[in-house]
Amino acid sequence: MDISVVIPVYNEEASLNPLYERLKKTLQEINRSYEIIFIDDGSKDQSWRVLKHLKEKDENIKLIRFTRNFGQTAAISAGFEYAKGEIIVGMDADLQNDPGDIPHFLAKIEEGYDLVSGWRRHRKDTLLTRKLPSWIANWLISKITGVKLHDYGCSLKAYRSWVIKNIHLYGEMHRFIPALAKWCGASITEIEVRHHPRRFGQTKYGLSRTLKVILDLITVKFLLSYSTKPLHFFGIPGILSSLVGFLICSYLSLLKFFYHIQLSQRPLLLLGILLIFIGIQFISLGLLGELAIRIYHETQRKSIYVIKEIIE
Ligand code: UDP
Ligand code: MG
């Protein structure tokens, strides 16, 4: 299998037929073996019936159906897990992405990139609730993860399958795939894609998504930088805090024992003790973290590296 296209579907009944027609046209022109995987994420409309109709006509279609709505990240993960193609293409079901762009993605992969991300340069969404928060989020994510992309939110992306098979997604992390892929050692690039206004159905997200993205960003940064060394992360502020607390307390002890000054009037004493305790807390947290990552890696047999090739 050469190409797997993975498409999450949640209440998109009206888009599915036109999407399939365009996708089929593009994929047939490329002239390589392909599969289209639709994941019905607990749709409440007729999406599943429409999908089953399509499946009857075309055996390149694979269908996965969830028992309820588990969210876009879960749907994408299920599709990725199932995909057998050497190249995996992800896109939305709502026709906002253009299937006609897929050949450009494949060309970039052919050039040697492991991950190609779409950039909706002329994005057709509302300014205040979608585009503005997205600009801020993209800037922040680029700064903090060090993977500079204009558009993390674009679902239209292509991956070599090894990249995807090395990434495990939780929560709403699909947006951070490029950052996680960088950890795997993938080479990443972006290309401009067309973007269309939503014609059918409704968007599933509101403004609250921005806050979630920022919280997720903290998780990703932690995972990428410190997940294998939590004691380094918590230990350094811990040591500094304890040290300052210790110095303060030593100074106050000097005053007390050599100059016989009363300490009951010195708020500095509280600060000193507080800092020592905060330091101990931080170090304990780091140690717990060390314990947690061992459990995490060993129970999941998750390795702390990704091998490109072995020559014996
Ligand atoms: N989607 C999904 N499960 C959800 C929410 C969304 O499978 O819980 C799918 C949805 O059907 C679409 C894609 O994820 O194919 C992107 O959703 P949407 O277009 O609403 O997001 P937007 O483009 O507005 O950011
Ligand atoms: Mg959309």
113 with 214, same domain: the answer is yes
Tell me which residues have their CB closer than 6 angstroms to ligand 1.
8-10, 12, 41, 69, 71-72, 75, 92-94, 96, 203-205
Does residue 284 form part of some domain?
yes
Does residue 217 form part of some domain?
yes
Task: Provide the domain count of the chain.
Answer: 2
146 with 284, same domain: the answer is no
140 with 166, same domain: the answer is yes
Which residue minimizes the CA distance to atom 2 of ligand 1? 72
Taking the CA of residue 11 as reference, the ligand 1 atom at the shortest distance is 11
pLDDT of residue 251: 96
100 with 242, same domain: the answer is no
263 with 158, same domain: the answer is no
11 with 95, same domain: the answer is yes
218 with 259, same domain: the answer is no
Assign 3-class secondary structure to the chain.
CCEEEEEEECCCHHHHHHHHHHHHHHHHHHCCCEEEEEEECCCCCCHHHHHHHHHHHCCCEEEEECCCCCCHHHHHHHHHHHCCCCEEEECCCCCCECHHHHHHHHHHHHHCCCEEEEECCCCCCCHHHHHHHHHHHHHHHHHHHCCCCCCCCCCCEEEEHHHHHCCCCCCCHHHHHHHHHHHCCCCEEEEECCECCCCCCCCCCCCHHHHHHHHHHHHHHHHHHHCCCHHHHHHHHHHHHHHHHHHHHHHHHHHHHHHCCCCCCCHHHHHHHHHHHHHHHHHHHHHHHHHHHHHHHHHCCCCCCCCCCCCC
* Domain end position, chosen among 211, 226, 241: 226
Pocket test for ligand 1, best of 6, 7, 10 (most atoms within 8 A of CB): 10
* Domain end position, chosen among 194, 226, 258: 226
pLDDT of residue 93: 96
Does residue 306 form part of some domain?
no
* Domain end position, chosen among 192, 226, 260: 226
pLDDT of residue 288: 96
Does residue 99 form part of some domain?
yes
Q: pTM to 2 decimals?
A: 0.88
pLDDT of residue 224: 86
State the residue range of the domain holding 87: 3-226
CATH of the domain at 112: 3.90.550.10
Residue segments in the chain with a per-residue pLDDT below the cut of 50: none
179 with 114, same domain: the answer is yes
